[in-house]
Structure 1
């Protein structure tokens, strides 16, 4: 029997624990009369780090994206605690989405491009029905070409995030690491990066999903409710 609990997305809790609470601690409780610069940074980073580890252990979500998130938090803490040049923070902010984008591109040279693994799988779409219709319409090759194009779009969205992360970090975080001002600016960076980077990236990924669905519709004639898997329709 599988004793691992089923993981259910909790976006509001994720946002509160990983973005809002750390930002408040960094901006409001990093003064010498509160937690101090080092204490405030450790307390702020403990929330996303602890939550990420809890998710990994509790639901056994040992995936590439989750591990990158934990690495990002750990690197941010290292930069602050070891008082490294803030240039490294900007590089780190850009490196995480850049690595994902490169991984997406590399996946195009394998039998399983990332878009196929993430979207065109039985948990999201009725793969067998779609493949059958593609064969009936002699459109399998055309579908593979468009699937590859969608993969490039995904890589481009992560490239956009990498550039924006670097620019935002360079613009906001200008104080030396290990200071209260650095913590406050790091809190602002965490808070601003969500609406300015995460939301546009999410919109782009939704647009890519729409492009993939339109591709399937054009090549097979299937409607959205026929394309989605039974699991997705039950949600």
Structure 2
């Protein structure tokens, strides 16, 4: 009513303007994205075995390095300069082997901690993903946050629910009415699920999606927040989805 008075419009005229506004694209470059799909090989596998989860590191791409038995038994007979040279190379090789072992050990500890914190996800899927931050894992395994950040960058894990980047498991939380929290990725997964099951002739508005989320999760979520999550999922607005239909 304030808009009708301010712009001296009738309801039909206002609807025409609203239809134009809803047809606009806030991310005009999105339709020109021509990137090729990226294929990844998981660095870690998590299998469900009974009531437990088993973690296996994928070491197919890692070289199996070891020092020559000749060097382990001592540097061959040679002069001091040659001995120093060989000793330096042995130290460098030993350092590389230890570093690779430490990297794998750290990766295992990080994934083990993620599985512990995200038990609901590994049992039931994305809609049960809990809020989690780097500090939670760092404190759990006794390492610095920067170490956890490095080891989870561009690393992928194969789970019973698909392949995910390790960074995926770190997400902010939304507070529920009972004081507990739900992960933002869980909310995105539910939005995706609701839209996948909608009537194409009458797609769900962001406001209606917010109502559905409140019914299922008992969380009050603003329409603009729903729109932000929907946009992050590269899902167009309800008016665009209806047009495409």
The interval holding the TM-score normalised by the smaller chain is: under 0.3
TM-score between both structures, scaled by the size of structure 2: 0.24
Give TM-score scaled by structure 1 length: 0.25
Larger radius of gyration: 2
Larger RCO (CA within 8 A; separation ≥ 6): 1
Q: Which one has a larger percent strand, Structure 1 or Structure 2?
A: 2
